[in-house]
Structure 1
Amino acid sequence: MAVPLEEKFMAQLDMHSSELIRVIRSKGGATCQKIAGIMQTLDQDSRAERAEKDLEQLTMAVFVIRKEGQGCQEPPEDIGIII
């Protein structure tokens, strides 16, 4: 009987991913510099996933997208209404 190793590996990785991320974030020096871009992308993906889940709970929402570091006086990149 064949065991689906890839599925098993991915499931185990999912179980331990938060701990792995915590360990990676605690690293400094060259390791930190090498993975900074990856971690930034991961953070952005996490925020997007959380925002999507939050929006699924709402009947209606208004969203405003601004460039990073942009103040409230600057025009936003995008504005939308989700119903």
Structure 2
Amino acid sequence: MDKTFAYRRKEVVVDMPSIAEFQSRWPALFAESEISAEFTRITTIPLMSKFMSELDHHSAKLSRVCLKKGGVAGRKIAEIMASINENDTIATRRACNLKSLAVYLNEDPEKLIKEYLDVNFDNAQSELDMTALGIYVIKHEGADASDPPEDVTRVLKSLNNDGNGNNKHL
């Protein structure tokens, strides 16, 4: 990928292809591992650890901004943020901030972050296979809110058109 960076940059800046064209020419750039590798190659900083550290750094400001939202969204955000009072851990703070940000942006956080009990793993696996973007949290049956999850999975899949007008996962 590093050998083709200059060529890809020129293609984006000069030719300005559509996202679909660019994705068909460079599908690897739409895979999570390649995005992380490309970010690390360009910046020499690991993407996920940088994202999490910046999320932690701006957590208080992000919470304040989200809590200022009014109306139905503001009430939903207040309910989400109440979890921090019950269990103030870094994982809870991150989850609450990400869910609140989704609500703030008029998105349904349940479509982004899904929680399952370990006994329902088959349901989670079937939904995970059909998801293009999401975060799945698997918890032990009977676990307290303060207990750490069994597993957390990030899903980032590229959708490609199969020629019949149907999207398929790569």
Q: Please give the range of the TM-score, normalised by the shorter of the 2 chains.
A: 0.3 to 0.5
| TM-score, normalised by the number of residues in structure 2 | 0.25
Q: TM-score, normalised by structure 1?
A: 0.48
Bigger relative contact order (CA 8 A; separation at least 6): 1
